[in-house]
Structure 1
Amino acid sequence: MNNNLQDKVILITGGAKRVGAAICRLLHADGANLMIHYRTSVHEARALQSELNLQRPNSVAIIQGDLLNLAVSPSLITETVSRFGKLDVLINNASTYYPTELGQIGEQEWEDLTGSNLKAPLFLSQSAAPELRKTNGCIVNITDMHVERPKKGYIVYSVAKAGLVTLTKSLAHELAPEVRVNAVAPGPVLWPEDNPQFDEVYRQRVISQTLLKRIGEGNDVAKAVRFLIQDAPFITGQIIAVDGGRSLNL
């Protein structure tokens, strides 16, 4: 623990498990206070809160909310500020991910995938902007390496994440000079859960296309997020790929 983020207040969406939880653990170890948002992962959120508060009492709070409901965005900000007194960092990590075949795409899939991956980050960032300006804070969005070369069968997800890249750059313009806005674009980092498409044959093919010949870990993404928060005061509007070089081989 180096305490480089001591007294920083960070709100992270979808922070209860997987990559989100890895980000939470690393930033908390560096001294940050966390407001961890979740939608349905209440057991995971409570367990993570208990784990981290044992290490540093009263340093982590959790909050539930459906980000597709626009009324939730301002409440996340006000609850965070009410609990910790300020907001230094917003991490838009929450995401919905599943395939959508052209010819079978319905409005529900569109609203869900663009809602979680694009609409929610926009409106949450808008709500957070006044507080982030007060602290000269920053926003970190979690995008995807596939925005430049869309993955077949995932058209709506790919469009939404591509929009998030443009949103990152637009917000960097809109919120400068007080607030920096950047993004991390993970590649093969943790396999999706309970998806038969990601069988052993698929996994070995992905690994073979990755320059480093392995998949990444949640902590690889977390370290990139930490860099953008604490070690990049002259970086804004940028996208950092954390993909083991796979994007060079697609």
Structure 2
Amino acid sequence: MKDKVTFITGSAKRLGAHTAKHLHSLGSNIVIHFDKSKAEAEALSQQLNTIRPNSTALVQGSLSDITAVESIGRQAINAFGRLDVLINNASSFYPTPIGTISAEDWFSLVGSNMQGPLFLSQYCANTLALNNGVIINMVDIHAAKPLKNHTLYCMAKSALVTMTQSLAIELAPKIRVNGIAPGAILWPEAELNPDDKQQILEQIPVQRLGHMQDIADAIAFLIDASYVTGQILAVDGGRSLSSHTKA
């Protein structure tokens, strides 16, 4: 990935930050995107620039604000004057039991998980095509097997799956488009009690959480896999094979 540029949305912390570090270690320059996590994004940028000077750039903005997406994409492209990989990683996640769903929930969950990736991909497509680029969308195993009380989130991720497959056809042959469907890699930021955690682990054939490196490795594979497009790769320890899933 030497001299290539990777733009990762929501990359100030957690999976996004770990993926940024891994792809940076493979030689890519990284455009780090954040909305509210400014301190974390600046710390990550400083860390990576210490390893390789002038190898990162920062872009701020809300992907849930459709009017801001074009500016976010423009800044990402202008940061290094090219773009090879777009990873739509940013995602809001929280329960929305039916009867409680608000317009604010719609803008947050659909905005970050489907609307933002669509319009960002559209804006970046011409630049990605110049370099036989790659789009990778972070989907979810619950796009296929909905999670109770998370209807809106699951709807948005399901739409993102369809978008991944549709764009793989529409943007070929210049751009490949694939998705990663993580299983239980990190516990949600809203802490679960021990019984809930055990219940989730019992649904996973390998009987453990995954690691952030599992996701980073899968992303690196899809970036390199020149004959793979329109696919959703589940990195979930077999959890998507379970007959049911719970929060």
Q: Aligned partner of 2:105: which letter?
A: E
Unaligned runs of 5+ in 1: none
2:231 is aligned with 1:238:
yes
> Counterpart of 2:170?
174
Normalising by structure 1, we get a TM-score of: 0.95
Unaligned runs of 5+ in 2: none
2:120 is aligned with 1:127:
no
Normalising by structure 2, we get a TM-score of: 0.96
Give the Cα–Cα distance (whole angstroms) in 2 for the partners of residues 55 and 22 of structure 1.
15
Give the Cα–Cα distance (whole angstroms) in 2 for the partners of residues 25 and 110 of structure 1.
31
1:70 positional shift: 2.1
196, 202, 226: which one pairs with 2:220? 226
Q: Aligned partner of 2:200: which letter?
A: V
17, 20, 30: which one pairs with 2:26? 30
150, 155, 170: which one pairs with 2:151? 155
Give the Cα–Cα distance (whole angstroms) in 2 for the partners of residues 185 and 224 of structure 1.
10
1:63 positional shift: 1.0
SS at match of 1:135: coil
Q: Aligned partner of 1:62: which letter?
A: L
1:66 positional shift: 1.0
Give the Cα–Cα distance (whole angstroms) in 1 for the partners of residues 84 and 90 of structure 2.
18
2:99 is aligned with 1:103:
yes
Deviation digits for residues 91-145 of structure 1 (CA, Å, limit 9, x no counterpart): 0000000000011112221121111100000000000000011111010000001
Q: Aligned partner of 2:56: which letter?
A: V
> Counterpart of 1:79?
75
Give the Cα–Cα distance (whole angstroms) in 2 for the partners of residues 200 and 30 of structure 1.
37
Question: What is the root-mean-square deviation of aligned Cα atoms in Å?
Answer: 1.0
Q: Aligned partner of 1:220: which letter?
A: D
Give the Cα–Cα distance (whole angstroms) in 1 for the partners of residues 74 and 155 of structure 2.
30
Number of aligned residues: 243
Q: Is the 8 Å Cα contact of residues 6 and 29 (structure 2) preserved in structure 1?
A: yes
